């Protein structure tokens, strides 16, 4: 079974190399590669035993002089992100089919290369390997945004690049420090977990890692790169960034901060929750003022990620289980939202809300699928967004009632600005521009119908997802509690 994980990691890489060599067939090769990865991910999930152990592990010497191993594996936490990546990449590839991108082989090869980097991040059990995957996932999306983005792409992309590289540098310093403190002089994650760092050391390591992860999510006030980047990036780039890449930051906090520096979390987690809740309120208020629908969804994403971040640092079973399922739900929903806006932009050449209206009259299937996605985003009971946000709020409530009150604003505010946007874009009277719109067809239907099906299925029956992560989450809480007891 260990070969399953190696195949998961290397098939996207092989697919990227093959795709780069072909012209008109590039997008079809990329789709086949991503579908093969999806099948492998589903086989992995079916064969996964839902306990706290690491499974499908591979541990091979790599750079022996530095104690670096190619050490990968999957547990109940990483299985969620592995599934998320392999479910969304085929949809993201298919969403690019209606576009006539220049240099298609390079475009689709970069998507698959990024998929391989993301999977390496989510399965790495060696800190150096984790860092390699972290940087490898950044390079493709940088070029996707820089080459195929909007008019202001160069300035915006440079800001995004500087932010993420600066954050990565802090994380690298933290990794090197942990390596130097490790008597075994290796980068193995279990050796890092076993370190007995004093509270001062843990505080420094906490911030070294948290800055990198907070930029990637992003959490207030490290978010300023996000709205411009999401707006200027091509639709495919925006989906990769919002649907999967920001989950790298969430996963990083869970995997590398909580078990390694629990005393740092104890000292600074309260501030992290304050920043997260501040981001919810700030992003929600800013979303009300947006005239561009794509920017509105970008700020909505910041608000929802703020709730997820608060749930991590609430540090109880309910909140972390909420994080697990909400990572999956948010990825599905935000990809659906950005694809709807991409369809509108391709047909009408605008995402300005004031220029739209009455689209449902001429594109009823687009309007219906968009409504289902919006309802999932605003956490309507029976949709995928509800169970995650319910568990997150319950977990934050256990930590502090007032944080839960303010965090709950993400649902209230989100319902107002998302439904108002839907009303202004899809309902009402048509105008000279929107009367020309045509309904969804072909690959557009496949993507949107699949997204809607996932929203409903995960909302009605979330038990399989929660069952995959439950034992690993409980083990993580016990691990953190034991380390805190020994430190105190």
pLDDT digits 0-9 by tens, 130-167: 999 999 988 898 888 888 877 777 888 788 888 888 88
Separation between Cα atoms, residue 329 and residue 321, nearest integer Å: 12
Q: For 49-86, b where at least 16 C-beta lie within 10 A, e where not — what string?
A: ebebebbbbbeeebeeeebbbbbbbbbbbbbbbbbbbb
Has residue 192 got a pLDDT over 60? yes
DSSP lists the bridge partners of residue 126 as 188
Separation between Cα atoms, residue 452 and residue 371, nearest integer Å: 9
pLDDT digits 0-9 by tens, 333-374: 999 999 999 999 988 888 888 888 889 888 999 999 999 999
Q: Cα–Cα–Cα angle for 370, 374, 380, nearest 5°?
A: 135
Mean pLDDT of the chain: 89
Has residue 24 got a pLDDT over 80? no
Sequence-separated (6 or more) residues with CB below 8 Å from residue 432: none
Q: For 399-409, b where at least 16 C-beta lie within 10 A, e where not — what string?
A: bbeebbebbbb
Q: Cα–Cα–Cα angle for 72, 77, 81, nearest 5°?
A: 80
Tell me how far apart the terminal alpha carbons of the chain are, to the nearest angstrom: 41
As a whole number, mean pLDDT of residues 36-63 equals 90
Q: Are 220 and 282 in contact (CB under 8 A)?
A: yes
In degrees to the nearest 10, what's the CA dihedral of 226, 232, 237, 242? 30
Has residue 418 got a pLDDT over 80? yes
Q: Helix, strand or coil for residue 102?
A: coil
Q: What is the percentage of the chain residues whose pLDDT exceeds 70? A: 99
Q: Cα–Cα–Cα angle for 30, 348, 302, nearest 5°?
A: 65
Q: What is the pLDDT of residue 487?
A: 59
As a whole number, mean pLDDT of residues 474-482 equals 89
As a whole number, mean pLDDT of residues 315-319 equals 90
> Residue 59: which region, alpha, beta or left (left: phi > 0; alpha: psi -120 to 50)?
beta
Sequence-separated (6 or more) residues with CB below 8 Å from residue 77: 251, 254, 255, 324, 469, 472, 473, 476
> Binning pLDDT at 50, 70 and 90, where does residue 480 land?
confident
Q: Are 54 and 125 in contact (CB under 8 A)?
A: yes
Query: Domain coordinates of the chain in residue numbers?
Result: 2-487
Q: What is the pLDDT of residue 488?
A: 56
Q: Is it true that the peptide bond before 132 is cis, omega within 30 degrees of 0?
A: no
Q: What is the pLDDT of residue 311?
A: 92
Its sign, for the CA torsion 335, 338, 344, 345, is negative
As a whole number, mean pLDDT of residues 216-235 equals 84
Separation between Cα atoms, residue 294 and residue 282, nearest integer Å: 17
Q: How many residues does the structure list for the chain?
A: 488
Separation between Cα atoms, residue 342 and residue 340, nearest integer Å: 5
Sequence-separated (6 or more) residues with CB below 8 Å from residue 437: 344, 347, 348, 359, 362, 363, 366
As a whole number, mean pLDDT of residues 81-94 equals 94
């Amino acid at each position: 079974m260990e070969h399953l994980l190696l195949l998961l990691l290397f098939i996207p890489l092989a697919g990227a190399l093959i795709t780069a060599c072909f012209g008109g067939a590039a997008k079809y090769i990329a789709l086949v590669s991503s579908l093969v990865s999806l099948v492998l991910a589903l086989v992995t999930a079916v064969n996964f035993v839902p306990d706290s152990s690491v499974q499908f592990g591979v541990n091979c010497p790599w750079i022996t002089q530095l104690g670096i191993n190619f050490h990968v594996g999957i547990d109940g936490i990483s299985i969620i992100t592995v599934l998320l990546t392999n479910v969304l990449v085929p949809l993201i590839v298919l969403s690019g089919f209606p576009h006539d991108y220049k240099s298609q082989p390079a475009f689709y090869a970069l998507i698959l290369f990024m998929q391989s980097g993301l999977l390496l991040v989510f399965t790495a059990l060696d800190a150096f390997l984790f860092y390699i995957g972290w940087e490898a996932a950044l390079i493709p999306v940088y070029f996707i945004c820089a080459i195929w983005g909007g008019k202001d792409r160069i300035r915006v992309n440079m800001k995004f690049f500087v932010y993420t590289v600066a954050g990565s540098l802090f994380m690298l310093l933290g990794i090197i420090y942990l390596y130097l403190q490790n008597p075994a002089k290796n980068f193995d994650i279990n050796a890092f977990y076993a370190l007995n760092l004093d509270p001062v050391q843990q505080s420094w390591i906490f911030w070294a890692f948290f800055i990198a992860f907070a930029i990637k999510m992003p959490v207030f006030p490290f978010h300023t790169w996000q709205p411009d980047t999401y707006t200027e990036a091509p639709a495919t780039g925006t989906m990769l960034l919002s649907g999967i890449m920001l989950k790298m930051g969430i996963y990083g906090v869970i995997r590398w901060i909580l078990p390694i520096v629990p005393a740092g979390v104890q000292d600074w987690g309260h501030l992290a929750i304050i920043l997260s809740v501040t981001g919810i309120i700030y992003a929600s208020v800013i979303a009300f003022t947006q005239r561009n629908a794509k920017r509105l969804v970008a700020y909505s994403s910041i608000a929802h990620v703020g709730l997820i971040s608060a749930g991590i640092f609430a540090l109880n079973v309910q909140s972390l289980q909420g994080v697990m399922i909400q990572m999956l739900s948010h990825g599905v929903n935000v990809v659906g939202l950005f694809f709807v806006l991409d369809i509108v932009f391709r047909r009408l050449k605008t995402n300005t809300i004031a220029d739209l209206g009455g689209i449902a009259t001429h594109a009823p299937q687009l309007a219906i699928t968009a409504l289902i996605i919006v309802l999932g985003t605003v956490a309507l009971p029976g949709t995928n967004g509800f169970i995650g946000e319910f568990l997150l709020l319950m977990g934050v409530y256990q930590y502090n009632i007032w944080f839960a009150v303010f965090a709950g604003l993400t649902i209230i505010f989100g319902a107002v600005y998302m439904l108002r946007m839907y009303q202004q874009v899809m309902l009402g009277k048509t105008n000279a521009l929107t009367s020309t719109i045509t309904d969804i067809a072909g690959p557009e239907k496949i993507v949107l119908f699949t997204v809607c099906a996932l929203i409903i299925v995960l909302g009605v029956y979330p038990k399989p997802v929660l069952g995959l992560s439950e034992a690993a989450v409980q083990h993580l809480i016990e691990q953190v509690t034991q380390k805190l007891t020994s430190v105190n």
